[in-house]
Structure 1
Amino acid sequence: MADKPYHHGNLRAALLTAAEAELTEAGVEGFSLRSVARRAGVSHAAPKHHFGDTAGLLTALAAEGFRAFVAAQTAREAQAGDGAAEKLMASGLGYVDFACARPALFRLIFTSRRIDESSDELVDAGSAAYMHLANGVMAMGGREGDIAAFWATAHGLAELMMSGRLAQIADLPEGERDAALGTILRRAMP
């Protein structure tokens, strides 16, 4: 049986999509380039050729994860009022939305030791995510400590929601859930 060719359409996007599916199913410990290639329907050499090694692919996936993370916050902000407080609240809700919708990717970007933290792409994407949050806090007149307080609160809520520790909030209808999370986030706002 001949190997599958690795050239098709947008290989990078196909590999990153397959990589997230593999990460979600197998976790970072069970993650393998061969499984990603199989999921993407390409030769086993394609991921290595494109990303170098497992760390290279996970790093690229983490950078994409940070961009998707900001997009989730921005999508929530687009539905909010025009005020800085409304935008920041929406950003915090988008933070939690992303974590609950894509927990494996959320954990990869924030806790994995299998990514190359010196990668320019990852540093740029992570910095943009931090600045998005920081700018929202600063728009309300906040300072560095306020950024840390809001970040810690949003991140803590995301972790608690993902782990099922806030079932009393998670099980509420969406509007009530957002209001309950918003009450907590508001306490950390400048």
Structure 2
Amino acid sequence: MVTVSTSKAYHHGDLRTALVEAGLRHLEAGGETDISLRQLAREVGVSATAVYRHFPDKKALLAALAESGIARLGEAQRIASEHAGGGPAGFAATGRAYVHFALDNPALFRLTFTHADHAGSPTNSSDEPSRLLRSYSEQFGGENAERLTLQAWAVAHGLAMLMLDGRLPPDDALINRVIDTKSLFPAQPSGSNNDASP
């Protein structure tokens, strides 16, 4: 789940951050249709005019929430990669972290890929998840790096959506079986760390 401050009143100098945090709480509670700029203004204790200085309309707010989502996803993937020790195991860990982030933050995950400029192909996006994916793909894919980037993204995103939509159970064992480095780059030399377990 998204962890944000539960303070109801705005008492500091960063109104934009306070509004984004309030928006994230509303997003997880009721989805994007539940978010109102005027309601957020009341929650943080400022006038609607103050809100519109930062977000001229709801679309701008949703884009900011999506940017927050991609940053949180990138952080989760980076931590998972480091915990796995990098290498092939780290690559697999980033994919599993992607799916787990979607399952833990379903509304934010869906919004992230519908309301932000970065939501294009990871082969040319500059956000942290895309950079991390390209880095691993270049490390292990060689001349097939672009294919590996798209393949790995398609596997993780497809699995996340199938689980979010109830087509597959949100099962860790299934996630580990599907996001397996051996299926992404089977030609690893013997002795390489191909273990896909966390």
Q: In the TM superposition, what are the counterparts of 1:17-166 in structure 2 within 5 Å?
A: 17-82=21-86, 84-112=87-115, 117=117, 127-141=127-141, 142-166=144-168
Mapped pair 1:182 → 2:186: no
Aligned residues: 169
Moved more, 67-76 or 38-47: 38-47
CA shift in 2, pair 1:19/1:103, >3 Å: same
4+ runs of 1 displaced by more than 6 Å? none
In 2, the alpha carbon distance for the partners of 1:17 and 1:99 equals 18
Residue segments in structure 2 that go unaligned for 5+ positions in a row: 1-8, 119-123, 186-198
CA apart distance, 1:34:
1.2
Q: CA deviation at 1:144?
A: 1.0
The CA deviation at 1:6 is 6.4
CA contact (8 A) 1:37 1:43 kept: yes
Q: Check whether the contact 1:73–1:92 (CA below 8 A) recurs between aligned residues.
A: yes
- Over 3 Å counting, the alpha-carbon distance change for 1:128 and 1:74 in structure 2 is closer
Whether contact under 8 Å (1:146, 1:188) holds in the other structure is no
Q: Structure 1 pair 188/60, CA: closer, same or farther in 2 (3 Å)? A: farther
Q: Distance in 2 between matches of 1:110 and 1:126?
A: 14
Mapped to 2, the partners of 1:158 and 1:41 lie a distance apart of 37
Following the alignment from structure 2 to structure 1, what is the Cα–Cα distance between the partners of residues 65 and 71? 10
Unaligned 5+ runs, structure 1: 119-123, 171-176
2: distance between equivalents of 1:64 and 1:155? 18
31-40 or 124-133, which deviates more = 124-133
Measure how far apart 1:76 and its partner are.
1.0
Q: CA deviation at 1:58?
A: 1.3
Taking the aligned partners of 2:149 and 2:68, their CA distance within structure 1 comes to 23
Equivalent position SS for 2:166:
coil
- Structure (1 or 2) with the greater helix fraction: 1
TM-score, L = length of structure 1: 0.77
Deviations 1:57-93 (A, max 9, x none): 11111111111110011121121034x2111111001
How far apart are the structure 2 equivalents of 1:8 and 1:31? 22
Q: Deviations over 1:146-188 (max 9, x none)?
A: 1111100000111122233322x53xxxxxx1x4312211265
**Mapped partners of 2:28, 2:49: distance in 1:** 22
Please, what is the CA RMSD of the aligned residues?
2.5
Q: Percent identity?
A: 37
Q: Give the 3 Å change call, closer, same or farther, for CA 101–60 of structure 1 in structure 2.
A: same
